[in-house]
Structure 1
Amino acid sequence: MNIAEAKNIFLVAKEAQNVTGRTLGTYQEVFKKFLEYLYSQNMYDISVIDASHIREFIVKLKAGRKGITVHKYFRVLRTFFRFLHQEDYIDSNPMKAIKAPKKEKKAMRTFTAAEISKLLNAFDRTTYFGMRNYCVMAMFFSTGMRKGELRNLTLSDVNVTTDLIRVEGKGQKERYVPLGRTLRRVTLPRFYGHTERVIK
């Protein structure tokens, strides 16, 4: 089977599984580089790819890229070849012979209470946009939500009776986070009662 055809079959299958657009974009990014490498080696058929070819590709990726990026490419290729093997498009999975590349572990710096207070107090809450921006930052600090999660939040997700916020995260996984004292005090749903989205 042609590698481009195998890629398209995989992408259609993942789209049918309702993966996010962001995930599909990551797949496309990885395949672009992987196919460029294969074509440079005059390789066009999926059946001729073995572990040594994938290792060489990963080694080339390491030049000028962070470990976390290389690990992302590895994960996509592992998912791709596992799919091809499970669907009987290839006889064996070359990724089984390859260990995941190490990625650097860095401690994430957190804000101090004083820094959070200083940032929140910088907004002029007597204005619409000042209050809106205050609410955005208060939501980030209080819930730990990602940018995309906050952007997609609607009023129906905020329950002021139970003090819980429904969040739809990566892979459409649902979780609940507490509203928190700060957010309860500014009463987000009342402030944005005229619009469907919490943040606009």
Structure 2
Amino acid sequence: MQKVIRKYKRGQGYGKSTKKVLDELTLNEMFEKFMTFKKTEALAPRTISEYYIHFDYLKDFLGDDMTSENITLEDFRGYIGYMLHDKELKPMTVNIRIRKMRAFIRFCFTEGYIDTPIHKNFKPVKAPEDTLESFTPADVKKLLNVIDDELYTGFSDKVIIFVLLDTLVRISELVAFKRSNVDLKGGFIQLELTSLPPFPALVGFVPRA
């Protein structure tokens, strides 16, 4: 029986290199692969949404979709300068956007979609230190003393302050409270965490008279 020898042109069939496939990926395609991966981490819907929002900011700066071959560190450094000087965003805001996109390009490098570890030099910018001082016990007493808890609004304000002090819950989480999150008999509040996988966290509290 005559042996059949099959010949393949370069870039076709089994001869098609993995590098060629990766080179054909666009920035949008790589981001969708990144988000598919992030969704396996059981992140909260809000966190997933933030990745899309910050990617849109980056795309607005870049203008057109890019391929994995022509993405450079200069693009991301230019993005930082654009946010700081053209948009005049605060360093804290810039750093939030940088961290989200840095996670994306780190993923691209780890997966082999890009050849250069851009994320190593695409770092958060220096931001002013937070010098905001917290309330002292005396400050808290003064605040509570000026609230008229005979009024519904005053009583509501005191409850909010007590919950914040007793549980150290974030204001955004407190605002998102539902009746189902509070167990008066058990003496605890169940939070829906937004920055960690969505399992319930129990925060103890002591109901006040």
Fold agreement, TM-score > 0.5: yes
Please report how far the alpha carbon of residue 24 of structure 1 lies from its aligned counterpart in structure 2 after TM superposition: 2.4
Please report how far the alpha carbon of residue 157 of structure 1 lies from its aligned counterpart in structure 2 after TM superposition: 8.7
Please report how far the alpha carbon of residue 135 of structure 1 lies from its aligned counterpart in structure 2 after TM superposition: 1.4
Contact 1:125 / 1:131 at 8 angstroms: preserved in 2?
yes
In our comparison, the structure showing a higher alpha carbon Rg is 2
Residues 142/112 of structure 1: CA separation in 2 closer, same or farther (3 Å cut)? same
Structure 2 counterpart SS, 1:48: coil
More helix by share: 1
Q: Structure 1: which 5+ residue stretches go unaligned?
A: 187-200
RMSD between aligned residues: 2.9
TM, length-normalised to structure 2: 0.69
2:89 is the counterpart of 1:62: no
Contact 1:158 / 1:166 at 8 angstroms: preserved in 2?
no
Residues 158/167 of structure 1: CA separation in 2 closer, same or farther (3 Å cut)? farther
Structure 2 counterpart SS, 1:18: coil
21, 38, 41: which one aligns with 1:14: 38
Match of 1:135 in 2: 159
String of CA shifts for 1:48-95, please: whole Å, max 9, x gaps. 111121111111111211111111121111100112222332233311
String of CA shifts for 1:149-180, please: whole Å, max 9, x gaps. 333472349844xxx6555543147666553x
2:28 is the counterpart of 1:25: no
CA distance in 2, matches of 1:68, 1:173: 28
Contact 2:149 / 2:155 at 8 angstroms: preserved in 1?
yes
Contact 1:120 / 1:138 at 8 angstroms: preserved in 2?
no
Match of 1:193 in 2: none
2:208 is the counterpart of 1:185: yes
Q: Structure 2: which 5+ residue stretches go unaligned?
A: 1-24
Name the aligned partner's letter for residue 77 of structure 1. Answer: M
Contact 1:168 / 1:174 at 8 angstroms: preserved in 2?
yes
Match of 2:170 in 1: 146
Contact 1:157 / 1:167 at 8 angstroms: preserved in 2?
no
Q: Which has the higher contact order (CA 8 A, sep 6+)?
A: 2
Aligned residue-pair number: 178
Contact 2:51 / 2:100 at 8 angstroms: preserved in 1?
yes
- Which residues in structure 2 correspond to 1:1-200 (within 5 Å)? 1-39=25-63, 44-63=66-85, 64-126=88-150, 130-150=154-174, 151-152=176-177, 154-156=181-183, 159-160=186-187, 167-169=191-193, 170-171=195-196, 172=198, 179=205, 183-186=206-209
Identity %: 25
